[in-house]
Homo-oligomer: A and B are copies of this chain.
Amino acid sequence: MQYLEERDLDYIAIGAAILGAGGGGDPYIGKLMAKQAIKKHGKVKFITADEVPDDALIIPSAMMGAPAVMLEKLPNGAEPEFAFRSLETYLQKKAFGVLSIEAGGINSCIPIYTAACLGLPLIDGDGMGRAFPELPMVTFSVAGLSVTPMVLCDEKGNKILLETVNNDWSEILARNATVAMGLSSMISIYCMSGKDLKAYVVRGTISLAREIGKRIIESNREKSNPVEGILEVTKGFRLFEGKIIDVQRDLTTGFVRGKVVIEGTGSDKGAAFSLDFQNENLVGMKDDVPLAMTPDLITILDKEKGFPITTESLKYGHRCVVIGIPCDPFWRTEAGLAQVGPRYFKYDLDYVPIEKLVKENGK
Interface residues, chain A, with chain B CB atoms under 8 Å away: 156-165, 169, 172-173, 176-177, 179-181
A177: contacting residue among B157, B163, B165, B173, CB under 8 A: B173
Contact indicator A173/B181 (Cβ below 8 Å): yes
Cβ contacts A to B, 24 pairs, < 8 Å: A156-B165, A156-B169, A157-B165, A158-B162, A158-B163, A158-B164, A158-B165, A159-B163, A159-B164, A160-B160, A160-B161, A160-B163, A160-B173, A161-B162, A161-B163, A172-B180, A173-B177, A173-B180, A173-B181, A176-B176, A176-B177, A176-B180, A177-B177, A177-B180
Give the docked Cα–Cα distance between A180 and B179 (Å): 11
A157 to chain B: closest residue by CB = B165
A159 to chain B: closest residue by CB = B163
With a cutoff of 8 Å between Cβ atoms, the chain B residues found around residue A179 in the complex are 176
Give the docked Cα–Cα distance between A158 and B164 (Å): 4
A151 to chain B: closest residue by CB = B161
Give the docked Cα–Cα distance between A217 and B165 (Å): 43
With a cutoff of 8 Å between Cβ atoms, the chain B residues found around residue A161 in the complex are 160-163
A170 to chain B: closest residue by CB = B158
With a cutoff of 8 Å between Cβ atoms, the chain B residues found around residue A172 in the complex are 180
A84 to chain B, nearest CB (A): 15
Which DSSP category, helix, strand, loop or mixed, fits chain A's interface? mixed
Contact indicator B159/A162 (Cβ below 8 Å): yes
A181 to chain B: closest residue by CB = B173
Give the docked Cα–Cα distance between A159 and B146 (Å): 14
A81 to chain B, nearest CB (A): 15
With a cutoff of 8 Å between Cβ atoms, the chain B residues found around residue A157 in the complex are 164-165
Give the docked Cα–Cα distance between A177 and B162 (Å): 11
With a cutoff of 8 Å between Cβ atoms, the chain B residues found around residue A180 in the complex are 172-173, 176-177
Give the docked Cα–Cα distance between A160 and B176 (Å): 12
With a cutoff of 8 Å between Cβ atoms, the chain B residues found around residue A162 in the complex are 158-161
A361 to chain B, nearest CB (A): 43
Contact indicator B181/A158 (Cβ below 8 Å): no
Give the docked Cα–Cα distance between A67 and B251 (Å): 34
A283 to chain B, nearest CB (A): 31
Give the docked Cα–Cα distance between A180 and B165 (Å): 14
Give the docked Cα–Cα distance between A156 and B161 (Å): 17
Give the docked Cα–Cα distance between A176 and B169 (Å): 15
With a cutoff of 8 Å between Cβ atoms, the chain B residues found around residue A164 in the complex are 157-159
Give the docked Cα–Cα distance between A162 and B179 (Å): 15
With a cutoff of 8 Å between Cβ atoms, the chain B residues found around residue A173 in the complex are 158, 160, 177, 180-181
